[in-house]
Amino acid sequence: MAVDVRRVVEIWNPVGKCSGTGYLIADDLVLTALHNVLGCGGLEVRGLDGDSKWLAAEVLWPLTEPLPDLEREPQADGALVRITDAGWLPPVGTEPVRWGRIDGGPVVADEGRLACVAVGFPRSEVRDGIRDTKEIRGHIERLTGLKSGGLITAYVDGVAVPGKRDEKSAWAGASGAALFVRGRLIGVVTTDRRRDYDGDQLTAVSVVGLAARPGFVAAVGELVPEDVTVADREGPPRRATVYDVEVPPGVNNLPEMPSPIFVGRVEVMAELERALSAESQTITQTVHGLGGVGKTTLALHYAHDHAGAYRLVWWIRSDTPELIEAGFAALTVRLRGEESSDLTTTQAAEWAVGWLQTHPGWLLVFDNAEKPGDVHAWTGQLRASGRHLITSRYKRGWVCDPISLSVLDQEASLTLLSGLVGNGEEDEARALADELGHLPLALEQAGAFIAQREVSIAAYRAMLEQYPARAAAAAPGGFDPERTVARIWRITLDVLEEQDPRAVEILRIAAWYAPTGIPRSLFEPLAEDPVDLAQLLGLLADYNMITLDRTGVGIHLMVQMVARTPSADDPHRDQARILAARERATELMLDELPRDPRGNVAGWPTWRALLPHVEAILDAFEPGEDTVEIVSIVTLTGQFLQEQGQLSQATDCLSRSLVAATRLFGDDDPSTLVSRNNLAAAYEVSGDMARAIPLYEQALAGCLRVLGEDHPTTKTVLENLAVARAQHP
């Protein structure tokens, strides 16, 4: 579909006393330039027909204040107008608009220039009773036409200069015209070169750049830009691809708020909104601060409050690179359903990136990122397509100026406490807030304890007096948030121990897994039945020691750190209990892991969910501490990673398995021989035959010596060695 002149409308701004052009992209939705409608709540539009009457309309997007400064952000000069007049009748028989983009790929012989066309109303002159519309025909230079930030330069060919010489802009009135290339709408004409110039060079705003701004796609609906350099010229529509999967409005995977009370964040929320509504140079925004200061809560409130402004909102746990990859893979599962079942985690994540690149206008939230590089590996591929919001405990190394989230001020702390425990005891509440360092996590846990046990704030403070009242002086704000949470942890666990010691045991075990998304099924052996488990987890959640959602169990990093750290004066954290919890966490994980990770494809989703927690368990053991259970876990993990194509990580796991098996069982134990064969196979798959063949040879010699030549393991190793030698004579 090319330009449909029935869709071209003239726009009148009664406040600015200016006219412009628009293009009807839906029955009552007009695309135009933002400067045509600035300062105006009510507009008027009329069609190309000379008998058309002016009809009422209003600005639909953008509405968020402050509006872009077009002098500084010319690439934001786009707007959507809705025709509200009851007498409006849209044109009949129009085809859907096809959106386009100019790619950055190599230029082929006949692609140096792209022909473009638009229709506008320069000066809206009347000649022979008909308004003076002009067809703007020209071209875009492939190599130089697309500017950074989403601006397009178009050269007008073979058309007389419109307008009068005394006009400051030769093309006055044509701004807002839709710019088409090969039947695809790629931009909105905004300005020309002014003053003493023939007016043969126009600037347009890319629709892809507009689509990356919050609210545009949500207002337009479906918007999938096609690459105009490979698009069909005037033929039938191209065949759909998997990337043409569209999402209905409102799709997201947002968790629930960790706390219903949200106070003291008005200014930082406004700062965050300004940052994420800016142009493409600032589409990545990081919020950093201490653990427990409320970064995740802030991000959740922003995401929930602004979900309607984006095509898609997707929450990604980012504690590790594997969690990030799993988050993108989960998006593929949401979009493609059963069609994604045969993809590895890496393949599914790559598909999600491809979809996001071709469907701008989304928000990704990377929560609790540990290292900037882990996130930048993904955001770099998606820089011009949407918005990224990152939360992290780390301040430096981000591509933007991070927003610092500090502890609450005193009044906000009091408001938070009163919301949890009710009003009263103001002096005691003020003192408690000071003692807890105004850390939101500490305040929430204290408030939950006070409300649950129905004790006074004064009584709670008296309990805290048994423990150090001051934190390390070097910490921000004059307190150590880890020790603050540790004090609350001790008091809360005293009560939990009285109610049900199994709840405390679950907490100790959960401390050895990754902090989010712990499957509930891991804890089933600790309960009598599903109802009993739900009650145990609910008890922990009542005291804010864990969080619960449909994906599983979450436990704050600082609570984990405290639970894993021995303390001579805390009976809940004596060395024996901590080590016993680590061993139990290991046993539960081994029981949960699907066997045969190479052949059992049905078990891959479970593996993906458990992998972050497997890695946390493995990190908790020094190599010299590895147990028999750890040998089994690390072997299975290495086989899964090898099957997923993550060969470096696979060889690391299988190498650790061999070292531990040798230490635990001896060099000639059958388990050690199998571990040696597994590691050799991993090296072979990765192409490192110099390591693979000697390991096969050692494994074969051991098998012949211990098992004999007729044993199945011996035959397997012999066959593997023969294949490896054939490939690397």
Q: How many CB atoms lie within 10 A of CB 5?
A: 13
CB crowding 377-411: b at 16 or more within 10 Å, else e: ebbeebebbbbbbbbbeeeeebbeebbebebbeee
Q: What is the mean pLDDT of residues 112-130?
A: 69
Can you spell out the DSSP letters for 15-55? TTTEEEEEEEEETTEEEE-GGGTTT-SEEEEEESSTTPPPE
Q: Which of 124-133, 441-450, 480-489, 595-604 has the highest mean pLDDT?
A: 595-604
CA distance 598 to 217: 42
CA distance 552 to 522: 10
Q: Which residues have C-beta within 8 Å of that of residue 605, sequence separation ≥ 6?
A: none
pLDDT at 111: 61
CA dihedral 165, 167, 168, 169 (to 10 degrees): -90
Tell which wins on pLDDT, 52 or 60. Answer: 60
Considering only CA atoms, which of 126, 333, 110 is closest in space to residue 229?
A: 110
pLDDT at 474: 24
Residue with tokens 């388990």: 671
Query: Does residue 122 come out as left (phi exceeding 0), alpha (psi in the -120 to 50 range) or beta?
Result: beta
Strand, coil or helix: 719? helix
Element (H, E) at 269: helix 266-276
From the centroid of its chain, how far is CA 200? 43
Say if residues 653 and 637 touch (Cβ distance below 8 Å). yes
Q: How many CB atoms lie within 10 A of CB 478?
A: 12
Q: What is the mean pLDDT of residues 229-240?
A: 55
Q: What is the mean pLDDT of residues 330-341?
A: 88
Question: What are the tens digits of pLDDT across the range 32-45?
Answer: 999 999 888 789 99
pLDDT at 238: 52
CA distance 371 to 713: 43
Burial of 424 (0-12, 13-18, 19+ CB in 10 A): exposed
Sorting pLDDT into bands at 50, 70 and 90, what band is 472?
very low
Say if residues 472 and 402 touch (Cβ distance below 8 Å). no
Q: Which residues have C-beta within 8 Å of that of residue 590, sequence separation ≥ 6?
A: 629, 632, 633
The one-letter code for the residue type at 264 is G
> What is each CA distance from 47 to 8, 35, 42, 44, in whole angstroms?
6, 20, 17, 11
Helix 440-453 to helix 410-421 angle, to the nearest 10 degrees? 30
User: What are the φ and ψ backbone dihedral angles of 574, each rounded to 5 degrees?
Assistant: -75, 155
The Cα angle at residue 347 between residues 518 and 370, in degrees rounded to 5: 45
Look up residue 210 and give its two tokens: 């507009």
Look up residue 522 and give its two tokens: 């891991």
CA distance 273 to 589: 41
The Cα angle at residue 336 between residues 334 and 339, in degrees rounded to 5: 130
Q: Which residues sit opposite 387 in a β-bridge?
A: 363
pLDDT at 615: 94
Question: What are the tens digits of pLDDT across the range 564-622?
Answer: 877 777 788 888 999 999 999 999 999 999 999 988 999 999 999 999 999 999 999 98
Considering only CA atoms, which of 589, 687, 684, 685 is closest in space to residue 644?
A: 685
Question: What are the tens digits of pLDDT across the range 294-319?
Answer: 888 999 999 999 988 888 999 999 98
Q: What is the mean pLDDT of residues 647-669?
A: 93
pTM for the whole structure: 0.68
No. of helices (H) and no. of strands (E), the chain: 22, 24
CA distance 664 to 684: 26
Strands 18-26 and 8-13: antiparallel
The one-letter code for the residue type at 553 is V
User: What are the φ and ψ backbone dihedral angles of 203, each rounded to 5 degrees?
Assistant: -110, 140
Q: Which residues have C-beta within 8 Å of that of residue 650, sequence separation ≥ 6?
A: 638, 639, 641, 642, 682
Residue with tokens 């423990």: 467
Say if residues 323 and 316 touch (Cβ distance below 8 Å). yes
In 81-235, which ranges are continuous DSSP H helix? 207-211, 216-220
Tell which wins on pLDDT, 650 or 193. Answer: 650
pLDDT at 470 over 50: no
**Range with the poorest average pLDDT among 108-117, 215-224, 698-707:** 108-117
In 479-574, which ranges are continuous DSSP H helix? 481-499, 501-510, 530-542, 557-564
Question: What are the tens digits of pLDDT across the range 257-289?
Answer: 767 788 999 999 999 988 888 655 458 899 988
Q: Which residues have C-beta within 8 Å of that of residue 459, sequence separation ≥ 6?
A: none
Look up residue 299 and give its two tokens: 């991000």
CA distance 316 to 382: 15
Dihedral over Cα of 58, 59, 65, 68: its sign: negative
pLDDT at 471: 28
CA distance 119 to 3: 8
Q: How many CB atoms lie within 10 A of CB 574?
A: 14
Question: What are the tens digits of pLDDT across the range 506-541?
Answer: 999 999 999 889 999 999 999 999 999 999 998 888
Q: Which residues have C-beta within 8 Å of that of residue 684, sequence separation ≥ 6?
A: 692, 720, 724, 727
Sorting pLDDT into bands at 50, 70 and 90, what band is 196?
very low
pLDDT at 423 over 80: no
Q: What is the 3-state secondary structure (H, E, C) of 465-495?
A: CCCCCCCCCCCHHHCCHHHHHHHHHHHHHHH
Burial of 507 (0-12, 13-18, 19+ CB in 10 A): buried
